[in-house]
Amino acid sequence: MPPNGFTFRAVLFDFDGTLADSYPAITASVNHVRAQYGLPPLPQEEVRYYVGRGPSYLIAHTVPTGDAAQNVARYKAHHPSVMRDGTRLFPGVADALTALKRVGLLLAVCSNKPRAFTVALLDHFGVGPTFDLVVGPEDVPRPKPAPDMLTNALRRLSVPNDAALYVGDMTVDIETARGANTAVWVVPTGSDTRATLEAARPDRILDRFAELAELLGQANA
């Protein structure tokens, strides 16, 4: 065992708030739906509070009128028009992913974001080939915080849960990992504050995404 004790074979990631700042795009699509009812636009900081639990949760808490299923459909129909221009990878993410892949780790995304959107954005930013698998809410019976996405990914990757790490940005990610019996590290770049993350007691809080590659590159070299 390496001196730092990490023996992970796979690293699974959340997307929104973890790999990418997608809040401008998400806010634009939320406000597109709100505009259908003459509702004023919401600021990004208010919308981001509801990101992370899937489109149905997001729209239910930001569009308080109309048919829920129709509102989600409008959101999904609009989002491709803004998601590329309104999303950016966080600093250090692309290099870190390349470094993790170089040392032989399996990489996957497990996100409540619709899988087609995640795949399109990973390809748009040129990091799609670094991932072995992308799992979305369409692939499992229950979205996060249920552990279904993680257990699905680990089964398909043939990796036991004690050899996997989940990286996210929210308490929902911590809850998901605990349910799947995997280690969980978080970055304070998403919807929850550092204090909120600390209170949820993840295994580690990273100060910056690049720290992930520094730690695991050493552990798996």
- Look up the CATH number of the domain holding residue 14: 3.40.50.1000
Containing domain of residue 212, as a range? 10-21+87-220
Annotated catalytic sites, by residue?
14
Burial of 113 (0-12, 13-18, 19+ CB in 10 A): buried
Q: Model's pTM, two decimal places?
A: 0.93
Q: Is 108 within a domain?
A: yes
Range 116-137 average pLDDT: 97
pLDDT tens digits for 146-182?
Answer: 999 999 999 999 999 999 999 999 999 999 999 999 9
pLDDT at 5 over 70: no
Q: Mean of the per-residue pLDDT values for the chain?
A: 94
Q: Is 3 within a domain?
A: no
- The residue among 179, 146, 175 whose CA lies nearest residue 161 is 179
Q: Are residues 73 and 131 in the same domain?
A: no
Q: Is 187 within a domain?
A: yes
Strand boundaries in 95-161, DSSP class E: 106-110, 133-135
Q: Is 148 within a domain?
A: yes
Q: Are residues 40 and 116 in the same domain?
A: no
Q: Are residues 99 and 161 in the same domain?
A: yes
